[in-house]
């Protein structure tokens, strides 16, 4: 029996997309992501992450359903991937109707809006490596949701870097730059759901 060794060091191994798809599931319920052949282990989401995701997903989907033909929302396990060496999974992403017309849903290459929910275990990766990858891939707006600080940071591209559109804390509202009319109050994103224990 051969045991497959998985390495996250680019000095040891860089992966192709085909090799990436053949990897065993990581232990503990997380998943792998691949950026330019470098493997990243993403731990499973925590309670605060799941709670924030549920609220954001509900609000974003309600807005899109209320505006037929505007676009579509995709959730976990829907990925953005390119070439032979990059595959990442946003927590939530929105593709406008215009982008959908140009997109093979079997191979999504970019998104209009990406929402990434960070926990202490993923914050550095989400704010740096993954955020910069989204910029490179042409994402038009990024929300970084910090479950520890209870802040949503909005970023929009400005040339070859991210411009911080704002940091919004409890009591504030985030107004999407690309999804006109979508407004999300911050407090409910971080409030414990009344049905949760």
Average pLDDT per consecutive 10 residues, the chain (197 residues; last block may be shorter): 62 89 89 94 91 97 98 94 93 98 93 96 95 97 98 97 98 98 98 65
Phi, psi of 76 (to 5 degrees): -55, 145
- pLDDT score recorded for residue 16: 94
pLDDT, residue 194, reads 64
Residue 7: the pLDDT is: 73
Concatenated DSSP letters of 6-55: ----TTT----HHHHHTSPPPGGG-EEEEETTEEEEEPPP-HHHHHHHHH
* Sequence-separated (6 or more) residues with CB below 8 Å from residue 197: none
- Closest to 121 (Cα-Cα) out of 177, 65, 47, 195: 47
Distance CA 55, CA 186 (A): 10
What is the strand order of the sheet 38-42 is part of?
A: 38-42, 31-35, 86-88, 80-82
* Angle (nearest 5°) at CA 41 between 117 and 145: 10
Q: What per-residue confidence (pLDDT) applies to 77?
A: 85
Handedness of CA 69, 53, 166, 62 (dihedral sign): positive
Domains, in order of start, for the chain: 44-190 (3.90.1570.10)
Q: What is the pLDDT of residue 6?
A: 76
């Amino acid at each position: 029996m051969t045991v497959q060794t998985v390495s996250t060091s680019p000095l040891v191994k860089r992966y192709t997309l085909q090799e990436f798809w053949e990897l065993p599931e990581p232990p503990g319920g997380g998943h792998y992501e691949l950026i330019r052949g470098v493997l990243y282990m993403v731990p499973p989401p925590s309670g605060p992450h799941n709670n924030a995701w549920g609220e954001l997903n509900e609000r974003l989907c309600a807005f899109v359903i209320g505006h037929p033909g505007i676009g579509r929302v995709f959730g976990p396990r829907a990925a953005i991937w390119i070439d032979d060496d990059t595959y990442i999974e946003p927590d939530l992403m929105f593709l406008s109707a215009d982008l959908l017309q140009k997109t093979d849903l079997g191979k999504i290459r970019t998104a209009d809006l990406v929402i990434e929910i960070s926990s202490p275990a993923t914050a550095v990766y989400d704010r740096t490596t993954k955020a910069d990858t989204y910029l490179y891939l042409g994402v038009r707006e990024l929300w970084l949701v910090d479950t520890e600080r209870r802040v949503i940071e909005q970023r929009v591209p400005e040339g070859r870097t991210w411009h911080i559109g704002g940091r919004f804390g409890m009591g504030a509202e985030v107004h999407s730059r690309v999804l006109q009319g979508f407004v999300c109050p911050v407090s409910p994103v971080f409030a414990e759901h009344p049905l949760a224990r």
